[in-house]
Amino acid sequence: LMWPRSPPNHKEWQGSGTTAHFGDIVLGRCYTYTQIVRPELRDKDCQKIQEVFLKSFLSKDPCDATEQDYQPLIELANQTVPCNKTVFWSKTKELAHQYTRVQQALFTLENTLLGYIADDLSWCGDSGSSEINYQSCPTRRDNCSSNPVSVFWNTVSKRFAEDACGVVHVVLNGSLNEAFDRRSTFGRVEIHNLHPKKVHTLQAWVMHDIGGVRRPVRFLQCVKNPEHPSCTSGI
């Protein structure tokens, strides 16, 4: 007979541990979002969402998280963003959110239920215990790219992009040498999961003077969709 291992009291991993009061924050943010921010979602079951979120990573190896781990959570949240209202961002988090705070019909991922709940939180568990690890969580420095947080963002970002339709927008940082970074979530995941039959235009807003440095534009406003005649320019 094996007792579950007690949580380590030393730092097992290099990253910071699960955010203190993780479960309460998830529940509170879920209620804030569904009751106050988007009351049309008031019938969502936040207790269930919290339970399913915790189940998606507890008692599992935190270097072996998978997209499937988050499928039940994604299905519970089941939120549709209207066509023409999706806003991606890369290295422009503050600015993009300032913009969607004013333009409330627009949605970044963090303006959807799951993005709102998880933004800036950290979480992980352990395969040998059913406890939350508040001490430390693995990162890429631990040679652990399939950690629960990274896999969560890759999975929900992919789904967010797959669901996008009409004209979609991306806010990029024109003060960097490369506003479009292929290694970012936008460059690695989101752009590759837009459906050409649904998304006819990707409009990039390349914002200059972020951080006060102006550099030449290297990115055009429209990604070509060969099937759509109105879209004539490419990357």
For residue 69, state whether it binds ligand 2NF (rule: CB under 6 A). no
Taking CB under 6 A as the rule, does residue 153 contact ligand 2NF?
Answer: yes
The smaller minimum CB distance to ligand 2NF, of residues 1 and 105, is found at 105
CB of 96 to ligand 2NF, least distance (A): 8
The single-letter code of the amino acid at 147 is N
Least distance from ligand 2NF to the Cβ atom of residue 2, Å: 32
Are β-strands 136-137 and 15-16 bridged in parallel, bridged antiparallel, or unpaired?
A: antiparallel
Q: What is the dihedral of CA 139, 140, 146, 151, to 10 degrees?
A: 70
Contact, 201 vs 225, CB < 8 A?
Answer: yes
Q: Tell whether residue 186 is a contact of ligand 2NF (CB under 6 A).
A: yes
> At its nearest, how many Å lie between ligand 2NF and the CB of residue 187?
7
Determine if 22 is a binding residue for ligand 2NF (CB under 6 A): no
- Contact residue for ligand 2NF among 18, 50, 108, 155 (CB under 6 A): 108
DSSP state of 36: I
* 83 flagged as catalytic: yes
CB 219 within 8 A of CB 188: no
Structure tokens at 86: 């999706």
Q: Site for ligand 2NF (CB under 6 A): which residue of 110, 113, 204, 206?
A: 110
Among 30, 46, 124, 165, the one annotated catalytic: 165
Instruction: State yes or no: residue 112 binds ligand 2NF (CB under 6 A).
Output: no
Least distance between ligand 2NF and beta carbon 90 (Å): 3
β-strand pairing of 199-207 with 136-137: unpaired
DSSP single-letter state for residue 33: I
**Terminal Cα-to-Cα distance of the chain (whole angstroms):** 60
Count of positions on this chain that bind ligand 2NF (CB under 6 A): 19
Degrees, nearest 5: CA angle 224-92-38: 90
Alpha carbon distance 15, 180 (integer Å): 27
- Interface residue with ligand 2NF, options 22, 33, 57, 88 (CB under 6 A): 88
> Considering only residues 54, 106, 132, 149, which one is a binding residue for ligand 2NF as defined by CB under 6 A?
149
Shortest distance (Å) from residue 151 CB to ligand 2NF: 8
Query: One-letter amino acid identity for 140?
Result: R
From the centroid of its chain, how far is CA 151? 9
* 137 is known as an active-site residue: no
Closest CA to 144 of 14, 9, 22, 53: 14
- If one asks whether residue 184 binds ligand 2NF (CB under 6 A), the answer comes out as yes
Catalytic positions, please? Answer: 83, 165
List residues binding ligand 2NF (CB under 6 A): 88-91, 93, 108-110, 115, 119, 149-150, 153-154, 157, 184-186, 190
